[in-house]
Every structure is written in C-alpha cells, then in structure tokens.
Structure 1
Amino acid sequence: MKPYVKQDPWSIIEEGFDPQKQEISESLFSIGNGHTGQRANFEETYSGSSLQGSYMAGVYYPDKTRVGWWKNGYPEYFAKVLNATNWIGLKLIIDGTELDLATVEVTDFRRELNMREGFLKRTFTAKLSSEKRVHVKAVRFVSMARKEIGALSYELTPEGFSGRLELDSYLDGDIKNTDANYDEKFWDPVDQSVNGMRASVTVKTKKLDFHYCTVKETEIQQNGSYTPIESTPVLRDKYAGVRADIALKDGEATTIYKYTAHVTNRDHRKEELQGKAEQALEAALQAGFSQLQKEQAEAWETKWLDSDIVIEGDTAAQQGIRFNIFQLNQTYTGEDARLNIGPKGFTGEKYGGSTYWDTEAYCLPFYLATADSRIARNLLVYRWNQLGKAKENAAKLGFSKGALYPMVTMNGEESHNEWEITFEEIHRNGAIAYAVYQYTDYTGDTSYIEEAGMEVLVEISRFWEDRVLYNKRRGSYMMLGVTGPNEYENNVNNNWYTNRIAAWTLSYTLETLTTWKEKQPELFAKWQKQLGITDDELNKWDEIRSNMYEPYDEETGVFLQQDGFLDKELMAVSELEAKHLPLNQNWSWDRILRSCFIKQADVLQGLHFLNHEYDEETKRRNFDFYEPMTVHESSLSPCVHAVLACELGYGAKAYDMYLRTARLDLDNYNNDTEDGCHITSMAGTWMAVVQGFGGMRVRNGELHLNPALPEKWNGYSFKIVFGGARLLIRVSKNGVTVINETNQSVELYVNGSRITASANQEIQAG
C-alpha cells in the first residue's frame, strides 16, 4: 500500500476516509501515556473492519500455549497484554439513522495526531439522507499529567435539519483479544453500575486476579452551556451505559464530553478501586476539558524539551523521527519499575505486548540520553526484580546454575513457545549484561551495580559457564545449537555474535569484580559471601573468555556468522527478483533457512555493541560482506546498519536505512502496520540520528560526537542529557554548535577535540 499520510513536521494527518486503510490508521494514530493506551478506533459505531484496542500497562493474561508438538521446557503460557474495557464508545442515532462510517456517506474526513500537544483530532461530515448532514469534530487524549484519566469531546452540528439524537454513552468490558489462542475471553464481570450520567464497569481476569475498574461521566453542552439531560441506565454483565434523548437544532453544535478514570489493583487495593476511580474522575471533572487539554500540552512540551530532534529541509525525515519519539514517550515514562516496553506498545496486540531483548539492545540508549537517569535505571531494576525467574528458566532447560533471561516475558518467566527461539536464542542474556555496562558507563552511577547489577552479571556469567562446551580437538570453548539475532538461521553452531557477547560478558563481570576488589574490598567480600563467588569460579570464567571460539575467515577477513556460513550459495539481495520479497511472505521456511539471506544485523550487531573494540577496517570488511545479503525483514535491522554506515562514510546507505526505520510504520514498509506500530525499533530511529549522523558515543564515561550532515538535509539538531547537563547539538553546513541549556558544566569531545561546555554557554565546535 502506498503511503497516504500527509507529510507534516508536527502532525500525522490523514485526509479522506478509506475503509481499506482503517486498521493501519488505528495503529498510526494511537495515543497513550505509559499507563493506558488507545488505538485510534472511532467513538461512534463502526461496522467495518477494525481492531478495537484499549490497553492497560502491566495487566496481562497467561494464555495457555498452543503448539503442534509439545517439547520439554516449553512454557505453559504466552503472556498476552489485555485488550481491556472500551471507554470511548458512543452510539449515536440521529432521526432514526445510526451514525456508522461504514454505512453512511462520509466527506471532508480529516484525522490528525497532534504530536506537539499529544491529542487526536478527527473531523468529517456524514450524509444521513439527501437533506440531512451532520458535521462532527472529535478530540481525545489520555493525560500525561494525570495518568489514570482519559477524556474526549465529540461535537455534532446538524446541517439542513433539526432533529433528535438518541445517545448511548457506554463502557464495554466484554472484550476479546484477537490473538487469544483458544478464542477465549479473558475477563470476568465483577460489577457494573449507573448513577445519573455516570457509569462504571469493574472486570477481573480469569487467571492472576487482575481487577480493572473504569468509571466515566458524560456531560452535554449546547449553546455554550451545560444542559441537564434525563437518562436511563443500560446494564448487563461487563457493560454499563447511559441512554439519553437530545434535541438537535440546525446549525447549532451539541458537544458530548466523556471523562474516564482507569484504575487497577496493581496500584490500589481491590476494595478501593471504585473509590479511587471516583476520586480521580471528580478531580478531572473539576478541571474540565479545556484545563485537562492545557495540562496535556504542558506535559508534552516538557517531553519535547529533552527529546526533540529537528531536521531542516526534509519534511519526511522530520515527521518520521518525531513520530518515533512521540510513540516512545507515550509508551514508557519510567515511573514504574514493574513496567517495560512492549514491541507494539499501546498500538496493538501482536507479540503479546511483552518484554523482549529489544529493550536493552535498542531502547535503553534513548531513555539514557533524553531523560533523568532514574528512568533508564528502572529498566535495569525491572530485570533485577525478575532474576529469580531467570534462574528458574535456566533450571527448566536443564542447567545446574546461572540465569537465562526470557525471550518474551511479563513477569520474568519465559512465555515464548517456538523452540528455536525459546531454547536457542540465548544471546538475549548478553543484552541484559550489556545494558548494565551501558548505564554505568553513561551515567557514572555505580549504585545499581553495587545494589543489584553485580548479582545479575554473576548469574548470567554462570549460565554462560554452564552453556559452553569445551572442544578438545580445537582447544576452544564453543556453543552449539543456538540461534543468533538472524532468525533466518536456526540451530547453528558457534554463532559469532552469541559467542562474542558471552565472552564479553565474562570479561566485563571479571573486570568489574577486580575493580571493586581493589577499590572497595569490603563490598567485594560481601558479594563473595552473598553470591557464593569462589576463586575457582572466577578462574574458570577467565579460561572460557580467553579461549572462546569465534569463527573467522582468513581469506575474506570477516567474522563468520556461524560455522559453515561460507558453504552457502552467497549472493546479494539485489540479485533477487522483486517478486521474492519479502522472503517471509513468499518463501518456505525451509528455503529461507538454507539461503544466505539475513533477517537483521547479526555479526554487525556485535560490531555495533562492541564498537570501541574494533577498528574501522574490520567494521568495513564485515559491513561490506554482510549488508548486501541482509533483507531487513526485522524492524530492528535498518537502524544498526544506519549507525555503522554513518561511521564508515556510506552516506547514501545511511540515509536510506534511516528513512526506512523512521517511516517503517508511516509508509507501511512491511505490510503489517495494521497489527500495531513497531515501538522498540523506533528507538533505533533515534539511534540512527544521534549515534549515526551525530556520531555520539560514550567511552569510559566520556562523551564523543563526530557529526556528519546528510546531503538531503540543510541541518539538524538533537538533545543529549549527559553528566547532569542538557546539551543541544546543532549541525549545519557551517559546522557544529554545542549549547549547554543548563547550569551544569560538562566536558565532551567533538571531532576528537576536547571542549568544555560551561553553564548556559554556546560553543562553535567545528
């Protein structure tokens, strides 16, 4: 499908209504606040194709695993983020005709996601009959300032007639996940009630006993003043609504305001839910819609102050990066260490809404550089809190010690049920360890390692010790039967990236322990006692990391993705006819596995992570070898290639990869945006600009910038929060400017030269 959203620097705009694009738009125009989220479903009835989606962070269901052949070690369930109570619903019958955009004639349709101020606006005209038209303007948002509040206004103006509106304003908790394994509904009713124009629905999950209470109030405004309305209740299990009959006058607007509070027993006691929801709702009603919307704009202004990226001369690129940043900020706020970043965020149900290695590999750098350090720290705390479950995961697979973090999880327990991923894609452990390194090096904060991180590193290292196999013939340690980041290769031996990140983890753990032994021997002794660390164990780790087999080809000078990779028929993607792409929609899995084609960065993922350990020529040889064979059929692929291409001076390739990741969903590159947006890969878009074009690296606690200006841009700027300061970096054809927007002085390197950015100072750095 061709791109259809209008290019605009601050908004996502759709002009004209096409039912064939509705589910894509529902994803693109989603809203959220880190606590709740809502797909861009219509408030009024829509009988066309739609994925209704209202989501609550942290509330999930253990949907029983469904596989054709059960294997020992499989998880019992797949964790599903729950499609929850529909709070936006309005049933509107005007003079006997229901307002349904699938059945009435629609003109002047316009939908806008205002990213600067964080709201969704929709306008259209509906032709009800040859004489009757009604204009509609709908605005809604979920509040960044009041996390449990959602609000909408829905304005109707008749044209050419006066008549009657039969309104049902409702809450519907009788919702089913589209991805339910056994077509099961996950919610049971608890309570539903109506009092005047107020309604509430409380439901609970059939397992795990999550309770979710929604309370809403409906107000009607006509001629600029609120109109008392008589209503009747509509009640059934998991459903509560109010029905009212309202007079409509030709040319006069009637506005329906709907205020909603959402609370769960994650945050409040079950017996308090109704009261807490009522309390939050009352405060929102006292504020009113205009004040709530003002608070929303102010909250988003603060978000953009720290995280905005400005691109001059390229509207498509500008819109893409802001859309990605917007979705990241509305998916995760970092206020709750029990939460993480699902691959689809609040935009859809695919992948279960659970935590993947994407968080550590792609998302952490964004939150490190654009927010207070506690936000990123909470991502690490999330993993530490689940360390016990990670140790259980390792034990379930037959390991005697150590922790294996899950590929997919909500509570730390593995819930992915494809054997080649669940059992073999163990490189995910390395991303958890790398996140500890990244956070500590970037912030200089060692408290996480002291309090929790060392235990995580030790248990991951113990897993690697148990997982490797010593090959006497080669005198090396190996890892057999693994799946690397390139999931178009399964059950291979000695995936270079997996072996390399395991050896690096052992090295980092040993080096960190050595440092603390020298600087804080008391703390080292405490760790030895609490974690049972022995000298024999440390010696074993040293032996493994020093003798890890890392496949390498002398003739080509490249690291081999795995043993036997060069036995394949090697060819570039460009040699394939277009009809073959994407491979995952046109080839059998057998054919894909036998081919040389690569789903996403694999060897190059290692060179991206451990960038400082390899010289430019090594990176170039491997990039030139592997990138031509990469089909980028993972959303996580283009960003890594963009960063490396920038470093290697491949400007055109870097720009192409950037645009592909920035507009992946906006332009529906992979024909799957209807399932939801690719939230975690959006962090990769930020990486492509800041680490790619901006050349940002942190090495040994020092900030380095080596900016380059893409040919199609007149200039660009980005923000970095580092060392207690917020820096604005501007790159133009005239050079690089560094502006310190805070009172905290900070030192950094620009193109290799050391500079000091004093408080509130602007420096021409090149």
Structure 2
Amino acid sequence: MKEYLKHDEWCIIEEGFNPENHQSSESIFSLGNGKMGHRANFEETYSGPSLQGSYVAGIYYPDKTRVGWWKNGYPEYFAKVLNSPNWIGIDVQIDGHYLDLYTCKTDNFKRTLNMKEGYLLREFTATMDDGKKIQISAKRFVSMADTENGAIRYSVTPLNFDGKIAFTAYLDGDVENEDSNYDEKFWNIIEMEAHAGEAYLVTETKKIGFRAGFGMKIVAKIGDSELKTTPEVLKKEAWVANRIERTVKEGECFSIDKIVGVTSSLNYDKAAVLEATKKVTASGFQKGFEALLKDHIKVWADKWVLSDIRIKGDIAAQQGIRFNIFHLNQTYTGEDERLNVGPKGFTGEKYGGSTYWDTEAYCVPFFIATAPSEVTRNLLIYRYKHLDRAIENAEKLGFKNGAALYPMVTINGEECHNEWEITFEEIHRNGAIAFAIHNYIRHTNDEAYLSEYGLEVLLGISRFWSQRITFSEERQKYVMLGVTGPNEYENNINNNWYTNKMAVWCLKYTIEALTKVKAMNEARYNEIIAKTSFSYEGEVPRWEDIVAKMHFPYNEKLQVFMQQDGYMDKEQILVDQLNPAERPINQYWSWDRILRSCYIKQADTLQGIYVFEEEFDMETIKRNFEFYEPRTVHESSLSPCVHSVLAAKIGDYDKAYEMYLRTSRLDIDDYNHEAHEGLHITSMAGTWMSIVEGFGGKRVHDGELFLNPIIPKQWQEYSFRIAFMGNDMEVIVNSQEVTILSHAKNQIELKVYDQKVSVEPGQSTTVQTK
C-alpha cells in the first residue's frame, strides 16, 4: 500500500512532491468527460519517469497480436486505446532555463483533485539552479458541459527577482503508446496550422483512418490585464506552438489561459474535422476560462445530486466512495451508444479495448440506480449493435446457426483479446450480458426492450450455450469442458460452477423471454423468429433438457458448491498462511505455481451466489463464503466488492467493512501496486455496490424493491440516492433509524426489513434500524 495522499471528504490531495509517486498520481488525478480525457501529466517540461496519456473516446488502433505461435481462431489484433496528441503542454522558461520539477527544488507542493467541481489544481514554489524562486499555480479541467473543450490557467509569479518569463503553449502529435507491440507509432499528421494566438493539428490513425482534431487559443495576462503582445508562432514536424515572453517584475503574476478544442471523425465528416476543431476552439475561447468552468461545475453539481453517497464519521471511507463515483461519472455519461466504460477509462493504456464483462456485471447496477434509464439502455444497445460480430466470433471457433460469443475485449464487437485461455475459455461473460438485460428490465419495467433488442441477443447467447455444453454418458449429465471461470488463476478446467449456473439461467430466461415477447408483440416476435431462423420445437427442448440435467460440482462433506471439478485435489493452504513478502502472488510466483494452487483471484463461486442470492438460504451462503473467502487473494479489482456485499448479508460486518475499504481505496492506496498503469474504473462501480447492496441491503425481486440496511460501527450515518421504476428516493441510515425520503412524482412502495413502506411524493418515512 501507498498512503501518501491526504484524507479529505471532497478532494484528493498530494502534499510534497516525490517523483517515485508521480506516475501513480498521474493516474489518480486524471480528468475526463466521457468524450475525452487526460492523465495528470504536468503541463511544463518534466524529464523524470512519466506515462503521457491523452485519450479520445471511441478511437483505437488494431495493433497486430504478438504471439510465439498462431492458433486457429486467434484474434488478429489487440485493440489499443490510443495515446492521442498531447494538448496540455505549456513549457515554462525562466530567463532561458526550463522549469522541470524533476531537476529543480520544490517547496509547498500541493496537487488537488477537486471532485465536487471536477478540476485539477497544482500549486508549488520552485527554486531554479541559479537561486531564482517562482510561485506556480496551474488549474485545468475537461468540460462536462462543453464536452469538446478543455481549459488550462497557468500562472508564474517571481518571488525574488525581476526577469524574463516565457510560456510556450503547444500541441504535440508525436506521441506513442507504451504498450505498442512493435514499437510502432499509430498516428499520421494530416494538417497543421499555427497563427498568432492559435494553433491546430489534425491527425489520422494508421490502418483504420480515424481522424482527431486538436486546437488551442491562448491569452496571456499580467495580473488582471490582458497582454496585447503578438505571440511568436512555432512549427516543427508534428508540433505547433505559440510562444509569449515577457519581462516580469518581482511579485507580478504572469499567466496564460489555454482553451482547447478536441473533435474526431466519430462526430464529423473526415474532411470537416479541421473546420469543426476551429469552431469548437473558438466557441470555448469566446466563453473564456471562468464561464467554461462555471458551466462545468453546474453539470457536476447535478451529477452529484443523483449519485453522491454521504458518510459521516469516516473520512477515509467518504473520500474513497466519492473518488470512485467521480471517475465513473467522468468516464461514461451515456450520451453516445457507440461508447462504453473502458477498464482504465481515461487514466491509462493497460488492457486495451473499451468493453469487458465488467460493464454488465458491475457498472450496469450503478448506472441503473444513479442515472436516467437511457444511460443503461445505451449500454445494452451497444451490445445489440455488436450482435453480428458476436456471431462472427463464435463462427471462427466452429459454432453455427447464429450462436453468439460476445468478446472478452472489444471496441467494435470483434474479439481482440490476446490470451487464449481467457479469450475463448472465459465464456461466462456471455451470461453477464444476458443478466444485464434482465437487471435493466426489473429496475425500469422497460419490457419493450426485450422485443426491440433484448430477445435477439438472448437467442444468440443461448444458442452458444446449447452448442458449447456436452452431454456426458458417464455422468448422464450435461457438462461444460475447458473453461476459465471468473477466477483467472484457474485455466482450462471442467464444470466451473459459476459458468454452468450462468448458462442454465440464460437458457431459462430466454425461454421466458420468447413467451413474453410473443404475448406482448406477436408481429415483432414473428419478425425475430424469421430473422434468426429460430425453431422453437427444434431448439427449446434441448435447452430444457440442459436446464434439467446440468452438472453442478458439489462437496457433500463440506456442503459447499465446488468451484470446479477437482478443486479439492489442490493443496488447501489458506491465504493467511502465505508469506506477505510474496504478495501479490501474481508479481512473485510463476504462472505454473499459481495454476496448481488453491488460490482464487476474485469471487467465482461466490460471484454466482451474489448474482442468484435469492435461490440460497442464509446457511448455504454463509458456508460457501466461509470456505472460499479465506482462499481468495483479492488480486483482481473486481473481488473485494462482491465479498463485501456477501459479508454484510451474512452478518460479518467487520469483513464487510474491511472489503469495502479495500475496494474503495484500491487505487488511492494502491493495494495491488499498479496504480501507475491506470485506475480500475469498472470495479469502482463495485465500491458503490458495497454500500448500496452491501450495507444498504438493496435487492429487487419480483418487481419489488427491498432494503435491509445495516451501519458499520465506524460510521455515524450514511445516505445514498437510487432510482427504481422511475421513482427517485434517498435512503438515510444511522444506528437508530432508516429514513426514506421521496424525490419522486409518484407514491413509492418498497419493503424495509420486510416491512411494507409507502412514501408520498416529497415526503419521508422512518423505520427503526435493526
């Protein structure tokens, strides 16, 4: 763990500059707005270790897969989230010497991510080699209101001298990905322009031909007075800039505002990208830094109204949940169905692609409850529009008749993950996509989604399961061979309990969906049947037989579900017996040793119990939790949240709180020593689940909302806001009572501790805490 960041309810604060923490801070202090984002790289020159990162949503590069040998069906490329041209750059020279925090002395360094208002502020005093001291303030944001604009205000104040200070504001297209398989640069420069006070750069990705436009306009000031000086125009290959130099007196503040416009061919015709960039940049510049910031803060205020979770009495816990909610909201806004929730968002390159099963399993519950229903609907439509590609992915592996295997990693629907044992064995992801459809409908009552989009997806997924499952003559049961479950520390195993459970549920749900769509909209039903060449009589009987005869590993002696066949053949040494110096094991052990161990990367069997909790009694849940959690190393970001929810369910409140802190502060405190690579955006939704579904006990069954709140002993009070069936409500919990406050237009009905509660619009109801 790294604990160098100050605890604060609304801010992430780094006091004092340590280059060893810098790349982690570049991730943690990242900014985004759903369309674009940037790691917290310094604006000025920095010669120390740094991962420069600028990202435009939806733009990627198909980097050829690098493997020692090829297998049939292997993905031809790995989709890279592209490091895009750098637009934040402002070099600073003090009497001809570059400001560089890696080489100069700094005092009073403070970097602040204001999560409430969505901006990054950096303040410090620097002493140059010749003894000259300057005070620096740099404030920037990526607008949530004007989503193609970013803005920077950078100021320098000489403290002990009069001298020449120069700003060189630039756009740099000479960038590369750290994870490039063949050290290739992925961008071509198409157009460059620079004039006094402005500059523009249009770049195009190789192979696919995405275009991105970057523009800047600048204004400099001494104090509050705008300078009329004409900037020097500079150009290099792939680099355009404006330079302003001024003799500044001791104590005078010399500042520059840099307003940026970023566009892409996702939203404009290729030939029009430059012109669009100029218009967007001019529009932002005309509004100015302060007006852009005001509108940006207003959007954040509205988002916090719906998604904030308040915790009294525990600043570390409060900071953790707000940090997670902040990054979720700035990564995905739901306005564009072509986009999704990237596993690193706008904070790093690792993992590539933009979509994992994390979206459906973890992010959908968050967005269902905290955003308009259209946001989650767009996440589901994203998958619908990739259905043809999912069918192609399955065909490459020999599946037929419209069977669909959704990719492990994708941007455009095509599989582009480059680890065979994950890509083609971790097939439980199909189930997460199907369950997300069910989860969305049961929270919104949008049954029409089934006939419009959902049923086609379910049919493709169920056809895949039907063909992937084998009938064992030996067992006289159906089995699932050669899979990887959520626990990626097990590969090519047979009968992963969670995968088998998901497959059976999908088949049952698809049969129900067929009946429902036929009853709701027979014309649409017939259209889907014709489009998919579906035969109810020819396919459903096999599905029903699989449901009735599926093999689920079970240990009679322990009375727990077995993660897979043969799990108990492994040496059963518990996690607390491991040498702490060898943790995390994925950084110290060989893969062979990991695969032969009993250790579990993340919830696997417990993932299934979490999803289908209503099927199991409390004793069953407790036995399985107490068996599997001590064998779980929690080396996936997706692990602690599920364990926190289940621990709260079985009454192990200390474990629930421990796992909550781990998931909420996973990146802030860098539990797994990997924050420098980028943040774990999708698992951040799991932090929300830990509170709302864990401590809050939120569940939905048969069209009813249930709450079963508990409160950790470390907290005085907590509250969250959720929407259910279009009704918005706030839940406030302390040790004495639970208050349900309605923000809805209609009467709200729910159950609190199995007690039926009705709340009128604008009113509140209180129930005693159990």
Q: Which amino acid aligns with 2:661?
A: L
Rounded to whole Å, the distance in 2 between the matches of 1:164 and 1:237 is: 27
Q: Which amino acid aligns with 2:563?
A: Q
**C-alpha contact (below 8 Å) 2:451/2:525 kept by paired residues:** no
| 1:173-192 pair list within 5 angstroms | 173-192=173-192
Alignment-derived partner of residue 119 in structure 2: 119
**C-alpha contact (below 8 Å) 2:350/2:677 kept by paired residues:** yes
Rounded to whole Å, the distance in 1 between the matches of 2:521 and 2:151 is: 53
Rounded to whole Å, the distance in 1 between the matches of 2:598 and 2:749 is: 45
SS in 1 for 2:125: strand
SS in 1 for 2:229: coil
Matched, 1:525 2:531: no
Q: Which amino acid aligns with 2:17?
A: F
| 1:737-752 pair list within 5 angstroms | 737-752=739-754
Alignment-derived partner of residue 574 in structure 1: 576
Q: CA deviation at 1:47?
A: 0.4
Rounded to whole Å, the distance in 2 between the matches of 1:339 and 1:320 is: 26
**C-alpha contact (below 8 Å) 2:148/2:263 kept by paired residues:** yes
Rounded to whole Å, the distance in 2 between the matches of 1:519 and 1:253 is: 68
| 1:378-389 pair list within 5 angstroms | 378-389=378-389
Alignment-derived partner of residue 318 in structure 1: 318
Question: Among residues 549, 555, 564, which one is paired with 2:557 in the alignment?
Answer: 555
Q: CA deviation at 1:150?
A: 0.2
Alignment-derived partner of residue 716 in structure 1: 718
Q: Which amino acid aligns with 1:542?
A: E
Rounded to whole Å, the distance in 1 between the matches of 2:395 and 2:131 is: 71
SS in 2 for 1:350: coil
Question: Among residues 544, 548, 554, which one is paired with 2:546 in the alignment?
Answer: 544
1:514-540 deviation per Cα after TM superposition (whole angstroms, max 9, x unaligned): 233345444433332232221121111
Q: CA deviation at 1:579?
A: 2.2
SS in 1 for 2:730: strand
Alignment-derived partner of residue 433 in structure 1: 434
Q: Which amino acid aligns with 2:216?
A: K
Matched, 1:335 2:335: yes
**Which stretch has the larger CA shift, 325-334 or 524-533?**
524-533
Q: Which amino acid aligns with 1:240?
A: V
Rounded to whole Å, the distance in 2 between the matches of 1:596 and 1:537 is: 38
Alignment-derived partner of residue 695 in structure 2: 693
Alignment-derived partner of residue 407 in structure 1: 408
Q: Which amino acid aligns with 2:65?
A: T
Alignment-derived partner of residue 591 in structure 1: 593
1:425-482 deviation per Cα after TM superposition (whole angstroms, max 9, x unaligned): 1111000101111001111001221111100000000001110111122211111111
SS in 1 for 2:294: helix
**C-alpha contact (below 8 Å) 1:192/1:237 kept by paired residues:** no
**C-alpha contact (below 8 Å) 1:30/1:37 kept by paired residues:** yes
SS in 2 for 1:351: coil
Alignment-derived partner of residue 47 in structure 1: 47
Q: Percent identity?
A: 53
| 1:284-299 pair list within 5 angstroms | 284-299=284-299
Q: Which amino acid aligns with 2:481?
A: L
Structure 1 residues 353 and 37: alpha-carbon distance in aligned structure 2, compared to 1, 3 A threshold: farther
Rounded to whole Å, the distance in 1 between the matches of 2:152 and 2:450 is: 45
Matched, 1:163 2:160: no
Q: CA deviation at 1:618?
A: 1.3
Q: Which amino acid aligns with 2:696?
A: G
Q: Which amino acid aligns with 1:572?
A: L
Alignment-derived partner of residue 480 in structure 1: 481
Matched, 1:734 2:720: no
Alignment-derived partner of residue 375 in structure 2: 375
SS in 1 for 2:136: strand
Q: Which amino acid aligns with 1:758?
A: E
Alignment-derived partner of residue 418 in structure 2: 417
**Which stretch has the larger CA shift, 664-673 or 532-541?**
532-541
Q: Which amino acid aligns with 1:494?
A: N
Rounded to whole Å, the distance in 2 between the matches of 1:515 and 1:586 is: 52
**Which stretch has the larger CA shift, 164-173 or 176-185?**
164-173
Matched, 1:217 2:249: no
TM-score, normalisation: structure 1:
0.99
Alignment-derived partner of residue 20 in structure 2: 20
Q: Which amino acid aligns with 1:530?
A: K
Rounded to whole Å, the distance in 1 between the matches of 2:526 and 2:282 is: 54
1:702-756 deviation per Cα after TM superposition (whole angstroms, max 9, x unaligned): 1110000001111100010122222110000111000012323221111101111
SS in 1 for 2:154: strand
Q: Which amino acid aligns with 1:733?
A: S
1:320-372 deviation per Cα after TM superposition (whole angstroms, max 9, x unaligned): 00000000000000000000011110000000142111000111000000000
Alignment-derived partner of residue 80 in structure 2: 80
**C-alpha contact (below 8 Å) 1:131/1:161 kept by paired residues:** no
Provide the alpha-carbon RMSD of the alignment.
1.1
Rounded to whole Å, the distance in 1 between the matches of 2:556 and 2:2 is: 45
Rounded to whole Å, the distance in 1 between the matches of 2:531 and 2:223 is: 70
Alignment-derived partner of residue 96 in structure 1: 96
Rounded to whole Å, the distance in 1 between the matches of 2:394 and 2:222 is: 63
1:151-172 deviation per Cα after TM superposition (whole angstroms, max 9, x unaligned): 0100111111111123211000
Q: CA deviation at 1:287?
A: 1.3
Q: CA deviation at 1:701?
A: 2.0
Q: CA deviation at 1:693?
A: 0.3
TM-score, normalisation: structure 2:
0.98
Alignment-derived partner of residue 495 in structure 2: 494
**Which stretch has the larger CA shift, 9-18 or 725-734?**
725-734
Q: CA deviation at 1:20?
A: 0.7
Q: CA deviation at 1:130?
A: 5.4
SS in 2 for 1:327: helix
Q: CA deviation at 1:91?
A: 1.2
**C-alpha contact (below 8 Å) 1:162/1:250 kept by paired residues:** yes
**Which stretch has the larger CA shift, 178-187 or 268-277?**
268-277
1:260-299 deviation per Cα after TM superposition (whole angstroms, max 9, x unaligned): 0000000001121122112122221221111111111111
Alignment-derived partner of residue 652 in structure 1: 654
Alignment-derived partner of residue 349 in structure 1: 349
Rounded to whole Å, the distance in 2 between the matches of 1:314 and 1:93 is: 44
Rounded to whole Å, the distance in 2 between the matches of 1:281 and 1:744 is: 44
Alignment-derived partner of residue 668 in structure 1: 670
Rounded to whole Å, the distance in 2 between the matches of 1:742 and 1:222 is: 51
Rounded to whole Å, the distance in 1 between the matches of 2:474 and 2:156 is: 79
**Which stretch has the larger CA shift, 47-56 or 576-585?**
576-585
Q: Which amino acid aligns with 1:671?
A: H
Alignment-derived partner of residue 442 in structure 1: 443
User: Gaps (5+ residues) in structure 2?
Assistant: none
Q: CA deviation at 1:129?
A: 4.4
Matched, 1:193 2:193: yes
Q: CA deviation at 1:506?
A: 0.1
Q: CA deviation at 1:244?
A: 2.4
Rounded to whole Å, the distance in 2 between the matches of 1:583 and 1:356 is: 24
Alignment-derived partner of residue 361 in structure 1: 361
Rounded to whole Å, the distance in 2 between the matches of 1:399 and 1:531 is: 15
Q: CA deviation at 1:765?
A: 2.4
Q: Which amino acid aligns with 2:145?
A: A
Moved over 4 A (4+): none
Q: Which amino acid aligns with 1:613?
A: E
Q: Which amino acid aligns with 1:121?
A: L
**C-alpha contact (below 8 Å) 1:10/1:116 kept by paired residues:** yes
Matched, 1:633 2:643: no
SS in 2 for 1:58: coil
